[in-house]
A and B are shown apart, each in its own frame.
Chain A
């Protein structure tokens, strides 16, 4: 019988910040999204102040009960390295680990004896090595493991581990939890179920599978089977092939001039092209968008253009395409708030020259290889196209960015000699 575990970091981003900053321990702390916008990680102390997931910081900071709340800009270099450490600790102890997101990993726990105490030791070890507290859910399917993880997180008395391998244990919890609490049942699906009179998970698994399929398609039926204890989702150790690459950002302040918006889109394109090359892909379709803010009184304008392009992973060629697309949709006189670039029709870099090629793929490959090597050695953005700007006044706000303690020589944690 398969046994899955799901381990995830408690308030992962906040815990990663606290690992290196003792002054943040025991205090309410939130980490904000790109551009210092919304709370995307909250410590229990911050949740106790009433801060919701995704709440905008400009609203939080004015509430009297949140006056003591500390905040940090998101530091993905740090979180990525801490995630790598968690993964490394797990792979030393568990036969197979599937990273599901930066702070969640599925574990193959089949055949391990004394599973609960094994998981408790695993938690302790992750905590000691990475300073990050975690919870582990155990179940015969991934969906149950994920639910068990949620229960462990919400109920401190379980000591961070919840084992739902036993069907009797599950039945008890299924009556107390709503179908919307289940991984794979979104708010729309939960609403559909509620209209059909299905509220709790117990109601949901009692439904006729055929009725579930009619209501929620085959995806919903699979979730139901998983909750009944029938494993449908195996551990996938290979990252799925990408369908698309998107780089989108909110500007640090509204952007009105062509020069600035072009710089921004060139910058996002540069990043998208890097991701493309890192996976050995080239793109055959590009879409570019820019729009004004939906949150204020600025007049609404959304520029969106897409086009088939000659397949490439060349930064300069992609910037050329992006600027061409943007130019067609952009209008002067609007205050743009957000822009983005999306690359699709991805395919492994072609070995053969195309019949109608207008670019020299061999030369491009050499130039891009050099560009990526310099940036890998000296850091992102060391060598970049001039069209991406020098000053970048439109850039994202990161007013409280912590040091990249573990990945930069000039930003290490400092210890005072005693």
Chain B
């Protein structure tokens, strides 16, 4: 909260002398414009109650641009649509998969071309829809 208002009343930069870390009497011209580093929590809207982070394991979705170790931002309030990537709880497993809707039901379409699609049965759950992705090293 360093502002001009704080410093200006004292003559000849008296405050600057008293303040540790100031080596010259001149205030930085950027002093009033310093902003913190940008916050990925805001960019990814992580404070929404429906947003969850999920870490990817495996390379099956590489063609879709999702790599092993990526952090997905999943939203549990977003309705599922064909073609989107979803987090699905199926037979005790947590899967990251592409959704497809046909013949009146949802399917998981594998990222591996020759692998067959798997129907999302009654006891499975489309847990959340992937809305964003974070990769810490490229």
Taking Cβ atoms with an 8 Å cutoff, the residues of A that contact B are 20, 22-23, 25, 84-86, 88-89, 125, 128-131, 405-406, 409, 412-418
Contact = CB atoms under 8 A, between A and B. Distances in A.
B61 interface: yes
Nearest to A408: B53
Contact of B57 (A23, A84, A417): A417
A418 B94 contact: no
B57 A418 contact: no
B57 A22 contact: no
Nearest to A88: B49
B92 A416 contact: no
B49, B97, B110 interface centre (most CB from chain A within 10 Å): B49
A417 B61 contact: yes
A128 B57 CA distance: 24
A125, A406, A412 interface centre (most CB from chain B within 10 Å): A412
4 smallest CB-CB distances across A and B, nearest first, come from: A418-B97, A88-B49, A85-B49, A417-B58
6 contacts: A22-B89, A22-B90, A22-B125, A415-B95, A416-B96, A418-B95
Interface string B69-87: 0011000110000000001
A414 B108 contact: no
Given A412-B55, A414-B55, A129 B50 contact: yes
Nearest to A23: B92
Contacts of B93: 22, 416
A417 B54 contact: no
Contacts of B118: 418
Contacts of A23: 92
B111 interface: yes
Interface residues of B, number: 37
B133 interface: no
Contacts of A413: 52-55, 94
Contact of A128 (B56, B68, B71, B76): B76
Contact of A412 (B53, B90, B91): B53
Interface string B88-131: 11111111111000000000101100000010000001010000
Given A22-B89, A128-B76, A416-B57, A89 B95 contact: no
A412 B54 contact: yes
A414 B54 contact: yes
A125 B49 CA distance: 11
Given A414-B55, A414-B94, A417-B59, 8 more contacts: A22-B90, A125-B77, A129-B76, A130-B76, A412-B54, A417-B60, A417-B61, A417-B97
A334 B1 CA distance: 55
B77 A418 contact: no
Given A88-B49, A129-B49, A412-B71, A418 B60 contact: yes
B69 to A, nearest CB: 10
Contact of A406 (B53, B68, B92, B96): B53
Nearest to B77: A129
B79 to A, nearest CB: 10
B87 to A, nearest CB: 5
A414 B89 contact: no
A88 B97 CA distance: 28
A84 B76 CA distance: 15
Contacts of B60: 417-418
B57 A414 contact: yes
B23 to A, nearest CB: 22
Contact of A418 (B52, B68, B92, B96): B96
A102 to B, nearest CB: 15
Given A128-B77, A129-B77, A415 B54 contact: yes
Contact of A416 (B50, B58, B72): B58
A20, A128, A131, A416 interface centre (most CB from chain B within 10 Å): A416
B102 to A, nearest CB: 17
A129, A415, A416, A417 interface centre (most CB from chain B within 10 Å): A415
B89 to A, nearest CB: 4
B123 to A, nearest CB: 8
A130, A131, A409, A413 interface centre (most CB from chain B within 10 Å): A413
Contacts of A85: 49-50
